[in-house]
Amino acid sequence: MYRTFIILFLYFAQRSSAQCWEEVGGGFNSLGRSFYADSTNNLLYTGGNFSIAGGISAYQIAKWNGTTWDSLAGGSQPLPVSAITNYNGEIYAGGNFFGNNDIFNGKWNGTNWDTLVGGPNGNIGCFYQFNNELYVGGSFDSIGNAVANSLAKYNGTMWTDVHGFGNFNIASPNSIGAIINYHGELYVGGVFADSLSSGFHVNIAKWNGTNWQRVGNGLIGGLAGVDAFAIYRDTLYISGTFDQSAGNAGNYIVKWDGNNYYDVGGGMDNPVDRLVVYGDRLYAVGVFDHAGGVSAKKIAIWDGNSWSALSPDSFNNNIAALTFLNDELYVTGGFTYVGGLPINYVAKYTCSLGTNEVAKDGNEITIYPSPVSNNLIIEISGIVSEKKHLCIYNMLGEEVLKEDFSSQKYSVNLSGLAGGIYLAEVRNGKNMVRKKLVKE
């Protein structure tokens, strides 16, 4: 009887821990790598290493319509898909399409996979659209009839190199993993050197309208590389595999204002794979377990001042990509458990995002004051009948206080907590709000 009680306790504790994440349509049989969210048609495209999506055969790419997965006529070539985008109304998939260099089977017209004459002789790792052209980065030295060292562009008819970027690179192998336009200049990031560095990898460069040049002193280190860009509050954020021990400004993430690099709240303890801006926040995912000293298992949020965890739930492996569709957050990667529950490689966040916000049922949840000395106040507007739950976590992600309440205004005494920084979480049904607190 006692053993049965313990098993049931652990089961419901795990369910409670991961109640804000759910598997998407049965998940995949292997890891996901990339997303493209089609908000016009309410479709989510996902690429990766899988061959099954939601129980159906789908080689390396699948489409989610909110109810079921579709295989896109069986999927792409049987090699991983690392990038997906929509260009001129058609879906483009990029990845390790080795084999026939003359035929690039990477374009979906809505019914069938089309071939583009003249594909890369290596892999494509990222897409970026700029001035009505499709830019691609990866690891190749030719694409179509163009000599192009890891960076090329497509105008719908032909491939060309990008401002002679091949002359900028002198190390081999090179790869481009991120492209962005910032303040009118084209930035590229990856693993490469320039002609001024005697083979020393700088991993980030920009086209200033006349020449390619390194960005500052680059982002350096023996295993350093750039994986992602994002523009947040008019500042360029850059993430990857670099750290401060090699002389960089931050650990696995920095920001660039056009002149200098800066640390971002202490950075992470392991690499950051992707960055996405949504709702005036910067979301980061990767291999890390801590962001700015805060426990944040593979996903963290930057509000311009400090890092916070999206949830206390722990992913057992990396998150490779995230996106938003219809105000809902999706993640994919190498994980098979979230908060102790089996969730295979793709998940959706089902709770409300953010702090002091209007929740999904229209009720506004407010948590104040901060800093707080003794009494913390929670107010919920609107007609709310469900029982509410308050949890407070310390900087290690450990639960230090838990209370249930039913009133729409509730006061909890925190005098027993030591001074420091905490995360307060209020749940009401499937709605949730979190706020970082300073306890005096």
Domain boundaries, the chain: 13-349, 365-439
Which of 9-18, 21-30, 330-339, 409-418 bottoms out in mean pLDDT, i.e. has the lowest? 9-18
Superfamily, domain 365-439: Immunoglobulins (2.60.40.10)
The pLDDT of residue 357 is: 41
pLDDT over 90, % of the chain: 50
pLDDT over 70, % of the chain: 82
pTM of the predicted protein model: 0.79
Q: Binning pLDDT at 50, 70 and 90, where does residue 170 land?
A: very low
- The reply to whether domains 13-349 and 365-439 share a CATH topology is no
The pLDDT of residue 119 is: 73
How far is 276 from 232, CA to CA, in rounded Å? 9
How far is 253 from 227, CA to CA, in rounded Å? 10
Q: Is 50 exceeded by the pLDDT of residue 300? A: yes
Q: Binning pLDDT at 50, 70 and 90, where does residue 24 land?
A: very high
What φ, ψ does residue 5 adopt, rounded to 5°? -60, -45
Token match 């090179």: residue? 174
Hey, is 17 helix, strand or coil? helix
How far is 164 from 151, CA to CA, in rounded Å? 9
Instruction: Report the top-level CATH class of 13-349.
Output: mainly beta
Which of 40-49, 255-264, 297-306, 430-439 bottoms out in mean pLDDT, i.e. has the lowest? 430-439
How confident is the model over 176-229, as pLDDT tens digits?
A: 999 999 999 999 999 987 755 555 578 999 998 888 888 999 999 988 999 999
Pairing of strands 375-380, 365-368: antiparallel
The pLDDT of residue 83 is: 94
The pLDDT of residue 97 is: 59
Looking at residue 13, the DSSP 8-state letter turns out to be: H
